[in-house]
Amino acid sequence: MKINEILNKSGFTKDELIAMLRCTGSDRDLLLKKSSEIKKQQVGNKVYLRGLIELTNQCAKNCYYCGIRHDNDKVNRYFISDEEVLDAARFAFNNRYGSIVIQSGEIQNEWFTRKIELLILGIKHLSGGKLGITLSCGEQTEETYRRWFDAGAHRYLLRIETSNPELYAKLHPADHEWNRRIECLRLLKKCGYQTGTGVMIGLPGQTVDDLANDLLFMKEIDIDMCGMGPYIEHEYTPLFSANKDMLSLHKRFDLTLKMIAVLRILMPDINIASTTALQAIDKIGREKALKIGANILMPNITPGKYRDEYKLYQNKPCTDESPEDCGKCIEARVRLAGCEIGYEEWGDSKHYLKIKFS
């Protein structure tokens, strides 16, 4: 079947998704154009900002691809003070960002649960309830998720990394369970969060078939938000030298753009983030993603002195910059992508709102 015939359908088979992910040249142009149109029709031309606070690089886990994995002893571990987190949130609020994201390594204990709970309450308080709060703090118990939700967080991101359990097992130690991830996604929905997931693209051993399954997985569990990006090696990780037979960075980038485009066509009203990893490969990578289907941007508002230690992958952009630098830069970038910023707006997932209120 020709690409334009596929693009005019309303539901897609796996083979059709694969055809879209494989297309090149003018077919690729058609795909990206279609997804850009759908984005404008369904979620509009606004980009919503989520100021990103990388709270701590302490992590109990040992994912084979990640630069801040527990066993990497070349990282200086930090934990941002409460005051600095509140200052960062105040910066976001004063600069009219609608929301913030608190991201961290995975820590599961009462001290951490309580700390996040108090930070959420503090951020809600300083902004008169106006700043939206997204969390990305890994796998937790239902009780923890519930406490954070009750304190005022309303979105949660937990990437599945890959929907293929066998591939997941190759990328993680045996006690990191794929099933547990799925269970956590279910719990997050049950607690009432707008729930987001995502995958890495171009992982060693990953096929286009896997990526099509990733898209079907997101559709099936009915996510509200997605953040996905290219896999990028980090020197001090076990996966660094795992496989020489990898897609080039350029191909991983291209495949990520196509994944975003196909997801926008498959799930027209969800929020899709333009992730930082895209910019690690292409200087205007995030703008390209906004143009073709993404509608969320996460300017880094982590205090400058910590940024160098939150390197999940090499070449991570914005590590020498301050929150002010990124703030100024973001506006120009959004304009370059032909979009506008939804200042002071939460920009909740239309998908979530439709389900909730219908």
Q: Does position 231 bind ligand 5AD by CB under 6 A?
A: yes
Q: Give the tokens for residue 35.
A: 């997804």
- What's at 288, amino acid-wise? K
- The minimum distance between CB 304 and ligand FES, in angstroms, equals 11
Number of residues that bind ligand SF4 (CB under 6 A): 9
Q: Does position 66 bind ligand 5AD by CB under 6 A?
A: yes
Q: Distance (Å, rounded) from C-alpha 29 to C-alpha 27?
A: 5
**Which residue in the set 98, 132, 229, 342 belongs to the binding site for ligand 5AD (CB under 6 A)?**
229
Q: Does position 68 bind ligand SF4 by CB under 6 A?
A: yes
Q: Which one, 138 or 303, has the nearer CB to ligand 5AD?
A: 138
- The minimum distance between CB 39 and ligand SF4, in angstroms, equals 28
> What is the distance of C-alpha 318 from the center of its chain?
16
Q: Does position 68 bind ligand FES by CB under 6 A?
A: no
Q: Distance (Å, rounded) from C-alpha 182 to C-alpha 353?
A: 22
Q: Distance (Å, rounded) from C-alpha 196 to C-alpha 186?
A: 11
Q: Does position 309 bind ligand SF4 by CB under 6 A?
A: no
**Which residue in the set 27, 209, 325, 345 belongs to the binding site for ligand FES (CB under 6 A)?**
325
Number of residues that bind ligand 5AD (CB under 6 A): 12
**Which residue in the set 153, 326, 334, 341 belongs to the binding site for ligand FES (CB under 6 A)?**
326
The H-assigned helical ranges of 70-109 are 82-94
Q: How many CB atoms lie within 10 A of CB 250?
A: 11
Query: Which residues 6+ apart lie within 8 Å of 15 measured at CB?
Result: none
**Which residue in the set 6, 18, 31, 59 belongs to the binding site for ligand SF4 (CB under 6 A)?**
59
Q: Distance (Å, rounded) from C-alpha 339 to C-alpha 357?
A: 28
In this structure, is the dihedral angle defined by the CA atoms of residues 112, 113, 118 and 121, taken in order, positive or negative?
A: positive
Number of residues that bind ligand FES (CB under 6 A): 8
Q: Distance (Å, rounded) from C-alpha 193 to C-alpha 145?
A: 9
Q: Distance (Å, rounded) from C-alpha 49 to C-alpha 92?
A: 9
Q: Does position 63 bind ligand SF4 by CB under 6 A?
A: yes
Q: Does position 234 bind ligand SF4 by CB under 6 A?
A: no
- What's at 121, amino acid-wise? L
**Which residue in the set 313, 318, 342, 348 belongs to the binding site for ligand 5AD (CB under 6 A)?**
313
How many Å is the maximal CA-CA distance in the chain?
58
Q: Does position 239 bind ligand SF4 by CB under 6 A?
A: no
Asked if 45 and 287 touch (Cβ cutoff 8 Å), the reply is: no
Q: What is the DSSP letter of 322?
A: -
**Which residue in the set 142, 321, 331, 345 belongs to the binding site for ligand FES (CB under 6 A)?**
321
Q: Does position 107 bind ligand 5AD by CB under 6 A?
A: no
Q: Distance (Å, rounded) from C-alpha 32 to C-alpha 227?
A: 18
Q: Does position 339 bind ligand FES by CB under 6 A?
A: no
Of these partners, ligand SF4, ligand 5AD, ligand FES, none, which one is at the site of residue 159 (CB under 5 to 8 Å by kind)? ligand 5AD
Q: How many CB atoms lie within 10 A of CB 310?
A: 22
Of these partners, ligand FES, ligand SF4, ligand 5AD, none, which one is at the site of residue 138 (CB under 5 to 8 Å by kind)? ligand SF4
- What's at 179, amino acid-wise? N
- The minimum distance between CB 136 and ligand 5AD, in angstroms, equals 7
Contact footprint for ligand SF4 (CB under 6 A) = 59, 61, 63, 66, 68-69, 105-106, 138
Contact footprint for ligand 5AD (CB under 6 A) = 65-66, 159, 161, 200, 229, 231-232, 234, 277, 312-313
Contact footprint for ligand FES (CB under 6 A) = 299-300, 318, 321, 325-326, 329-330
